[in-house]
């Protein structure tokens, strides 16, 4: 599968099979995160791979009771280290949110290429997750990403052109308007 195929196939999966992810695939997912770019190559991140079913259940509860999260055999918790990030990032302060998000997007596309499903989770109680996973105060939990094989009923097909805005709605040349 090439990268454009992976982009078109990526979906938010909310039902997972109870099949473990093989170690060689887990290694490739780690490499996707490890080789992601970051501002000035500072890599201001730490990714927690959560396999323990009880911890996954508690993460799901801390993510506004999105209980499907716990069904994935893996939840990747993307944490940013603001004090290690590039400090001048346009109008958004430092680069930590962007850097962690780029890495998680690499993970998402690598997961799709491996036949896995995932879902971006941004609704969660950060303090509860920090407490549960012993994340230090100065770190920031940016997103959670459950990863696993889609359940039998989950249809994974390419995004239809009709589901996306047209090019004229999203692209401009030389100026915004």
Q: Do the Cβ atoms of 117 and 157 come closer than 8 Å?
A: no
The mean pLDDT value for 161-169 works out to: 83
- What is this structure's pTM? 0.90
Give the end-to-end CA distance of the chain in Å, rounded to a whole number. 36
Compute the Cα dihedral for 129, 117, 8, 36 and give only its sign. Answer: positive
According to DSSP, residue 162 is labeled G
The CATH number for 3-170, chosen from 3.20.20.60, 3.30.1360.120, 3.40.109.10, 3.40.605.10, is 3.40.109.10
CA count, 13 A, side-chain hemisphere, 24:
1
The ranges assigned to domains in the chain are 3-170
- E-only strand ranges, 39-81: 45-50, 74-80
What pLDDT does 84 receive? 84
Q: What's residue 130's pLDDT?
A: 98
Could you give the percent of the chain with pLDDT greater than 90?
A: 68
């Amino acid at each position: 599968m090439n990268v454009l195929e992976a982009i078109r196939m990526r979906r938010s999966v909310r039902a997972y099979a109870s099949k473990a992810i093989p170690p060689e695939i887990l290694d490739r997912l780690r490499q996707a995160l490890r080789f992601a770019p970051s501002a000035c190559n500072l890599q201001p991140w730490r990714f927690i791979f959560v396999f323990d079913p009880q911890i996954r259940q508690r993460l799901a509860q801390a993510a506004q009771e999105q209980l499907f999260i716990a069904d994935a055999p893996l939840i990747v918790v993307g944490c940013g280290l603001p004090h290690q990030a590039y400090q001048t990032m346009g109008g958004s302060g430092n680069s930590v949110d962007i850097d962690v998000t780029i890495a998680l997007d690499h993970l998402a596309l690598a997961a799709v290429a491996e036949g896995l499903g995932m879902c971006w989770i941004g609704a969660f109680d950060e303090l509860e997750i920090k407490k549960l996973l012993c994340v230090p105060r100065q770190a920031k939990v940016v997103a959670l990403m459950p990863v696993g094989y889609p359940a039998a009923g989950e249809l994974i097909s390419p995004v239809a052109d009709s589901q996306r805005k047209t090019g004229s709605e999203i692209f401009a040349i030389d100026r915004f308007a």
